[in-house]
Each structure stands twice: as C-alpha cells, then as structure tokens.
C-alpha cells in the first residue's frame, strides 16, 4: 500500500477538528460583549491555569468536519462567531476553520491563551489574546513573540486574580507601551474578589484599559453562557 504521507491532503471541508461544543449565546466578554454570538469551543489545552472555568473542554468532544461545523453555525444565522477553547490553536487545523468562517462572511474572533504561535491566523480575524499573569500559574508560557504579530484591531486580555496580578499587568503594559498599540482588557477572576476593587484601582491609576466582567456568569451563573 502507498504511504499515507504520499496521499493528497483532504479538501478543507473534509478536515476534522475535535469540538467540545457549539452553542448560541450572548458574548460575555471583549469588544462585542452583549451581542448574540455562536461559540465554537474546541477540545484540548496545553495550559492548566489555576482559575480555569472550562476544564471540561480539556478532553472528550466530537470529531466534526469543517463542513459540518459550518453547517451548524449557519443554522443560527449569526453575525458574530467566536472560536474558543480550551486552547483552539492547539489543534493544527484551527487556522483553517477561522479562514472558512471568514470566507463565509461571519465576523470572526479567536480567543487564545497567547502560548501558541498566531502567525497563521487569518488577518480578517479579531484575535483576543491573553497575557498570562502570575496568578494563573502559567505566566512562563507566554509567547511574547506573538505581540509583534498582533493587528491594531486585536485585543490583549489580562485575567486578574488579585492586586499583585493587577500591579504586574500595569507594569507589563507600561514597559511594552501597549496602551498605544492595542485595546486592553482587564478581567477579574469571577468570585475571587470584588470587581469594584479593581474598578477603583483602574480609576486611581487612570489606567487606559477596558474593565470587563463575564456577562454570562452574572446573567446565568454558567460559564457556558446558556
């Protein structure tokens, strides 16, 4: 039998990804918070952040072709689609899914940990990239080379677990002059401290960041947004 390495690659529509879930909800975070959005949550993540609220997506899921994923997305007739995880870029063909969604006319965003190379992400995609703080336990996984690959419309997200995380993030932003380059999101870890405290820190420092809370958790108390 011929080696599989000599077989032609599968057409894009027939490529498969392992999908934890596809659902329709209100976007809870980022620039499009509050807008109806289809979420495609891919399975798997190489990180283990201490505050992770989607550990159920580390394993399991269902293998779906890109064609089947697109068919499900279209059934909701959405404007906005978000590809998330886990860490979606941990799957090799995630970049191809993003291209397919953009080609289909959806306003597409990617939520990524910042630990994996983003160079193949379609330029039409709005990337929301984490900078992992010390409180995550995964700050040493930050791939700082990605900062140079971000587009002006992309967003940087800092998940803040405590005052030490806030101070670390503020210093990181200043040292890298990020406020002038990208929209920056500060998100308090849900349930860890009073978000009003972080609001006061931001105001006291006149820090040019957008504070966000996870809207879906306040509406439904459910990280999946249902």
- pLDDT, one tens digit per residue, over 139-166 is 999 999 999 999 999 999 999 999 999 9
CA torsion angle 27 41 87 97 (round to 10): -100
Reduced 3-state DSSP string for the chain: CCCHHHCCCCCHHHCEEEEEEEEEEECCCCCCCCCEEEEEEECCCCCCCCCCCCHHHCCCCEEEEHHHHHHHHHCCCCCEEEEECCCHHHCCCHHHHHHHHHHCCCEEEEEECCCCCCCCCCCCCEEEEECCCHHHCCHHHCCHHHHHHCCCCCEEEEEECCHHHHHHHHHHHHHCCCCCCCEEEEEECCCCCCHHHHHHHHHHHCCCCEECCCHHHHHHCCCCCC
β-partners of residue 172 are none
pLDDT score for 2 = 47
Q: How confident is the model at residue 222 (pLDDT cuts 50, 70, 90)?
A: low
- Backbone φ and ψ for 123, nearest 5 degrees, come out as -65, -15
Q: What is the pLDDT of residues 42-92, one digit of tens each?
A: 999 999 999 998 999 999 999 999 999 999 999 999 999 999 999 999 999
- Looking at residue 203, which CATH number applies to its domain? 3.20.20.70
Q: In this structure, is residue 5 part of a structural domain?
A: no
Domain that holds residue 69: 11-220
When divided into structural domains, the chain yields a total of: 1
Residue 144 lies in a domain: yes
**Average pLDDT, integer, range 166-190:** 95
In a domain, 6, yes or no: no
Residue 2 domain flag: no
Report how far residue 171's alpha carbon sits from residue 43's, in angstroms, rounded to the nearest whole number: 33
Pick from 146, 142, 103: which is nearest to 125 by CA?
A: 103
């Amino acid at each position: 039998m011929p080696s599989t390495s000599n077989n032609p690659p599968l057409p894009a529509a027939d490529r498969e990804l392992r999908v934890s879930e596809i659902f329709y909800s209100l976007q809870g975070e980022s620039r499009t918070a509050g807008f109806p959005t289809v979420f495609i949550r891919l399975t798997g993540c190489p990180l283990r952040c201490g505050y992770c609220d989607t550990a159920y997506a580390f394993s399991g899921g269902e293998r779906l072709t890109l064609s089947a994923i697109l068919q499900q997305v279209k059934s909701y007739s959405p404007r906005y689609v978000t590809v998330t995880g886990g860490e979606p870029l941990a799957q090799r063909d995630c970049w191809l899914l993003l291209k397919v969604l953009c080609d289909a006319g959806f306003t597409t965003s990617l939520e990524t940990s910042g630990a994996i190379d983003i160079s193949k992400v379609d330029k039409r995609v709005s990337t929301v990239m984490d900078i992992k703080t010390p409180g995550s336990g995964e700050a040493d996984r930050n791939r700082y080379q990605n900062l140079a690959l971000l587009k002006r419309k992309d967003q940087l997200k800092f998940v803040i677990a405590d005052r030490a995380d806030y101070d670390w993030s503020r210093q990181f932003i200043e040292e890298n002059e990020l406020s002038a380059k990208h929209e920056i999101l500060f998100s308090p870890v849900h349930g860890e401290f009073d978000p009003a405290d972080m609001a006061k820190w931001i105001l006291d420092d006149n820090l040019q960041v957008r504070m966000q809370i996870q809207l879906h958790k306040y509406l439904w108390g459910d990280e999946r947004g249902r």
